[in-house]
A and B are shown apart, each in its own frame.
Chain A
């Protein structure tokens, strides 16, 4: 299965990845707060991910890694 991995500690919740995701499967995790004080990014449906890696390329803080599996 394709996989997006988040380095949550680096996420600043800017939501640029949410805007560009073609499958619209990214959302801020409002249950969590990271050490910087932001709700970090999370994936709502990993099985829908196509590993296009647009989210990772757009992310200014290199939070996202993408694996095709």
Chain B
């Protein structure tokens, strides 16, 4: 009798992902689905899909879901969690969504100490709309709206969201992880699971920033894109726990 070592999580539907080949979104979806199944909360989870490549995330998670206006996922999550406090509510947002148009919503959701979980996928680019520059685009990184590379003199330095969120007194748990290799994927899953454990224990606002890639937007192969995360993204976006005010989960 063969033992199954690994198979697709039942936290995901049978719908094929609509993401480009090698996109980190798929990996991160898997980690969320596996965490919800392992914590036995899949049946009472509610996902909030953003605007961006992951706008169709409600098709992929095998739980209830709703799709919010651009950047407003934390506002929708606030409403759902307050009406249904027993449900496990999480938003899944990209950097164009969370770090740009939705900055006010995410800061004030954390400021109010809302008890839901945010999965923030930072790939430094607006992927869906054609690879435009985002607030998180690295200096000198070429995008379709910064064809000579991002210049600090006109657009400033990339926004460090985890560092910013960790300053908010009511935020409970902020960690930055990456998914560029198997060791970091394992660490990322631990962080995501911990964020959900905090929510289950009513400990308040938790956010996991996942450094991700966009092979098509970065104009490289998926394998090169994962290596670029390690070589270019992580030196600017240091991984680690930025705030943990929850004690033992």
Chains A and B bind each other: yes
Contact of B22 among A9, A60, A67, A69 (CB under 8 A): A60
Given contacts A10-B16, A14-B22, A60-B23, contact A67 B2 (CB under 8 A): yes
Contact A62–B21 (Cβ < 8 Å): no
Contact count A vs B, C-beta below 8 Å: 81
Q: Which residues of A contact B72 (CB under 8 A)?
A: none
Q: Please report the C-alpha to C-alpha distance between residue A26 and residue B239 in the assembled complex, in whole angstroms.
A: 31
Does chain B have a CB within 8 A of A42? no
Q: Please report the C-alpha to C-alpha distance between residue A9 and residue B221 in the assembled complex, in whole angstroms.
A: 21
Given contacts A16-B222, A20-B182, A54-B182, contact A60 B5 (CB under 8 A): no
Q: Please report the C-alpha to C-alpha distance between residue A15 and residue B17 in the assembled complex, in whole angstroms.
A: 16
Given contacts A58-B185, A62-B12, A62-B30, contact A68 B3 (CB under 8 A): yes
Q: Please report the C-alpha to C-alpha distance between residue A30 and residue B106 in the assembled complex, in whole angstroms.
A: 46
Does chain A have a CB within 8 A of B45? no
Q: Please report the C-alpha to C-alpha distance between residue A9 and residue B27 in the assembled complex, in whole angstroms.
A: 18
Q: Which residues of B contact A65 (CB under 8 A)?
A: 4, 6-8
Contact of A61 among B26, B185, B215, B226 (CB under 8 A): B26
Q: Please report the C-alpha to C-alpha distance between residue A58 and residue B19 in the assembled complex, in whole angstroms.
A: 15
Given contacts A20-B181, A65-B4, A68-B3, contact A12 B22 (CB under 8 A): yes
Question: Within the complex, what minimum Cβ distance (angstroms) separates A57 from chain B?
Answer: 6
Q: Please report the C-alpha to C-alpha distance between residue A36 and residue B17 in the assembled complex, in whole angstroms.
A: 12
Q: CB within 8 Å of A: which of B216-242? A: 221-223, 226
Question: Within the complex, what minimum Cβ distance (angstroms) separates B211 from chain A?
Answer: 15
Contact B5–A38 (Cβ < 8 Å): no
Does chain A have a CB within 8 A of B54? no
Contact B226–A16 (Cβ < 8 Å): yes
Q: Please report the C-alpha to C-alpha distance between residue A9 and residue B21 in the assembled complex, in whole angstroms.
A: 13
B1-37 vs A, CB cutoff 8 Å, 1 = contact: the mask equals 1111111110010001101111111110010000000
Q: Which of B's residues lie within 8 Å of A, judged by CB?
A: 1-9, 12, 16-17, 19-27, 30, 181-182, 185-186, 215, 221-223, 226
Q: Which of A's residues lie within 8 Å of B, judged by CB?
A: 3, 7, 9-10, 12-16, 19-20, 36, 38, 51, 53-54, 56-62, 64-69
